[in-house]
Amino acid sequence: MTRRPAPGTDPASGPSLVDGRGALSRAVVEALRTGRPPVCATAGVLRADPWGEDLQLALYLLYELHYRGFDGVADDLEWDADLLRLRHALESRFLHALRTDLADAPRSVEEAFAPLLVEPVDLSGSLSHRLETEGELWQLREYAALRSLYHLKEADPHAWVIPRLTGRAKAAMVAIEYDEFGAGRPERIHARLFADLMAGLGLDPAYGRYLDQAPAALLATVNLMSFLGLHRALRGALVGHFACVEVTSSPGSRRLAKAMRRCGAGPAAEHFYAEHVEADAVHEQVVRHEVIGGLLADAPELEPDIAFGCAATLLLEDRLATHIRTAWDAGRSALRTPPG
């Protein structure tokens, strides 16, 4: 097996492995460190809390093999049969929990997206509204540390859907991703802009730096897009996820840009969200009319999957927002350990 360069010697290398948080994630960590099959009973997966720290970290670690991997972990393990079998069992548990919680969710695109196109009158439950109106700098730093696991790979999992689309949907998806990846300018890649935001807030912008501090509620939001992206059968749900993110991004980004300005977070922090106000307002129209419209023209049977992807995204974002609000209301960090 090919081994990665020693930690710190390769600027494109992945983050360091973290310790497990239970039997499942410890088995994954041990397998990645040694190259031996994971020692994990199937019954343990079936008993695991699908929303818990152990299962969500185990899934995240296995998914990360398809991104940058980990320092000291063989690249070949990305397609290790034993790890893939374990990942399949974990995904089945995760998907069952999602479908159970979303049993009454909309099954049409119209029903799923119509409520998102109107700004709610009552924003009291909105985390971005709370940060805009009363958030403190330490809370903005925590929010950025949490979101870094998503934003530092922002457009990557959605790119997996491109070879699975055709015609209008494919052309429109590529156009949006082109913007996400900086329109040919590396300094404008959205992940790079978020790294600049983190540096401006005094956070470490290294890829995966805050994995060990991230709670299960955050890991689940990232795992969802990786799960959908890696399965061609779920391409409709991935489009639904992508569309949901784009439709809801612009208003939230506007509020977060104001929050950064009010708290004196610095120009880089404000710029990241200000950039998304304009860009995602355009992307919203393209993704709804061209990506979804084109996909439904080619494969109308995928409509329930598109609606499911949207509903699953909202479910996990609500769970994360509840976790953050609960922690802050209790006067404690929303991370497992506060950032330095």
Give the pLDDT confidence score for residue 284 in this predicted structure: 84
Question: Does residue 338 belong to any structural domain of this protein?
Answer: no
pLDDT > 70: percent of the chain: 95
State whether 233 and 161 are in the same domain. Answer: yes
Quote the mean pLDDT of the chain.
Answer: 92
How would you class 203 by CB atoms within 10 Å of its CB: exposed for 0-12, middle for 13-18, buried for 19 or more?
buried
Secondary structure of residue 236 in the 3-state scheme:
helix
Let me know if residue 339 belongs to a domain: no
Structural domain includes residue 313: yes
More confident residue, 11 or 110: 110
pTM over 0.85: yes
Say yes or no: 80 and 118 in one domain: no
216 domain residue, yes or no: yes
The verdict on residue 190 lying in a domain is yes
How far apart (Å, rounded) are the C-alpha atoms in residues 62 and 295?
A: 29
User: Mind listing the pLDDT tens digit for each residue in 129-173?
Assistant: 999 999 999 999 999 999 999 999 988 999 999 999 999 999 999
Spatial separation of the C-alpha atoms in residues 131 and 127, rounded to whole Å:
6
74 within domain boundaries? yes
189 and 70 share a domain?
no
* Same domain (yes/no): 137, 63: no
Q: Are residues 174 and 258 in the same domain?
A: yes
What digits encode the pLDDT tens for the residues 8-22? 334 456 899 999 999
* CATH code of the domain in which 195 resides: 1.20.910.10
Domain match, 208 and 320 both: yes
The verdict on residue 334 lying in a domain is: no
d(CA 205, CA 114): 36
Residue 337 is assigned to a structural domain of this protein: no
SS3 201: coil
User: 239 with 179, same domain?
Assistant: yes
- Binned at pLDDT 50, 70 and 90, residue 122 comes out as low
pLDDT of residue 315: 97
Domain boundary among 80, 101, 122: 101
The reply to whether 184 and 52 lie within a common domain is no
Domain end point (choices 75, 101, 127): 101
Task: Indicate whether 221 pLDDT > 60.
Answer: yes
Residue 53 sits in the same domain as residue 118: no
Q: Are residues 90 and 135 in the same domain?
A: no
| Number of domains comprising the chain | 2
What is the span of the domain harbouring residue 45?
A: 23-101
Examine the fold and report which residue of 60, 75, 101 is the final residue of a domain before the chain moves on.
Answer: 101
Cβ-count burial 240-253 (b if 16+ within 10 Å, e if not)? bbbbbbbbbbbbbb
**Residue 142 shares a structural domain with residue 170:** yes
User: Could you report the per-residue pLDDT of 5-62, keeping only the tens digit for each?
Assistant: 433 334 456 899 999 999 999 999 999 999 999 998 777 899 999 999 999 999 999 9
How would you classify residue 206: left for phi > 0, otherwise alpha for psi between -120 and 50, otherwise beta?
beta
pLDDT higher than 80, residue 267: yes
